[in-house]
Structure 1
């Protein structure tokens, strides 16, 4: 889990239960994507909530979730947290 911390103390991350994020302060959680099965039983990642692409299909949900997290960390999570 990547945590990006701005100089003002705001923490940005792709949500995970790796740590209890509430210990860092007040949370503001928003949806970044949808991971859903298609009619063939394969998995699609829809990143439209963050103006991203659709990824897949993936044979396994775990693979879809991994690609989802990687895409969000590379393209959505701020890399420059300057004020």
Structure 2
């Protein structure tokens, strides 16, 4: 689990239960994306909550979820962001 600490002292991460994040301080959790099926039974990733693109369609939900995490790690959670 990657934790990015901004110059303002905010911690940004892709939420997981690997550690108890409440030990860091007060939390504010917000959605980074939506992974939902389309009318054809394929999966789309909508990263608009973090000003990202739409990805897909994917035939498997697991592929859509992995694409979501990959994009967030490269473009949102990366220390250079």
Please report the TM-score for the alignment, with normalisation by the length of structure 2: 0.82
Match of 2:67 in 1: 67
| 1:7/1:53 CA distance change after superposition, 3 Å | closer
Q: Equivalences for 1:44-55 in 2 at 5 Å? A: 44-55=44-55
Q: In the TM superposition, what is the alpha-carbon distance from 1:5 to its structure 2 partner?
A: 2.4
Q: In the TM superposition, what is the alpha-carbon distance from 1:9 to its structure 2 partner?
A: 4.3
| 1:7/1:52 CA distance change after superposition, 3 Å | closer
Match of 2:16 in 1: 16
Structure 1 runs, 4 residues or longer, greater than 3 Å off: 6-9
Match of 2:25 in 1: 25
Please report the TM-score for the alignment, with normalisation by the length of structure 1: 0.81
The gaps in structure 1 that reach 5 residues or longer are none
In structure 1, what is the Cα distance between the partners aligned to 2:40 and 2:27? 37
| Secondary structure, counterpart of 2:44 in structure 1 | strand
Q: In the TM superposition, what is the alpha-carbon distance from 1:8 to its structure 2 partner?
A: 5.7
The gaps in structure 2 that reach 5 residues or longer are none
